[in-house]
Amino acid sequence: MEDSSLNTQTGHEAHLPHDYYTCKASHAFDQWFACLTVGRQLSSYYRYGKKSDCSKHWKKYKLCMKMKLRSEESGKALMREYREEENKQRMSQPNVLDVWTLRE
């Protein structure tokens, strides 16, 4: 049974999955470790001509560990900041829509 005090979401947050502001350290560590594997690095060299940057996975692992030391609300605030920064970076990078030019 869920506590009704935890369900006080704004309209913006209502459509998000319930675990959007949570973090599992074991999952984050597994993602970081998988990024470092020889197969993943060779694939990155083949596709992009450079080593895969695994720092974003390490950053998420550190965030998960910080969240364990904080209260639930403080942890959610940390994760909210992390997600916002992640979205800003994703939107600032080139994507498939940049390839096409609009015709008038």
Give the pLDDT confidence of 77-90 residue by residue, as tens digits: 999 999 999 999 88
Task: With a cut of 50, say whether residue 7 has pLDDT above it.
Answer: no
Report the domain count for the chain: 1
Residue 83 · residue 20 · CB < 8 Å: yes
How many Å apart are CA 14 and CA 10, to the nearest integer?
6
- pLDDT band for position 61 (50/70/90)? very high
Q: DSSP letters of 40-57? A: HHHHHHHHHSS----HHH
Task: With a cut of 90, say whether residue 40 has pLDDT above it.
Answer: yes
Mean pLDDT of all residues in 38-50: 93
Residue 43 resides in a domain: yes
Residue 5 resides in a domain: no
Residue 99 resides in a domain: no
Residue 95 resides in a domain: no
Q: Which residue has the tokens 């597994």?
A: 30
Residue 104 resides in a domain: no
Residue 38: count other Cβ atoms within 10 Å of its Cβ.
7
Structure tokens given for 24: 């599992």
Structure tokens given for 43: 């694939």
Residue 83 resides in a domain: yes
Q: Give the residue numbers spanning the domain of 68.
A: 20-89
Q: What does the pLDDT read at residue 11?
A: 52
Q: What does the pLDDT read at residue 2?
A: 42
Nearest CA among 83, 69, 63 for reference residue 21: 83
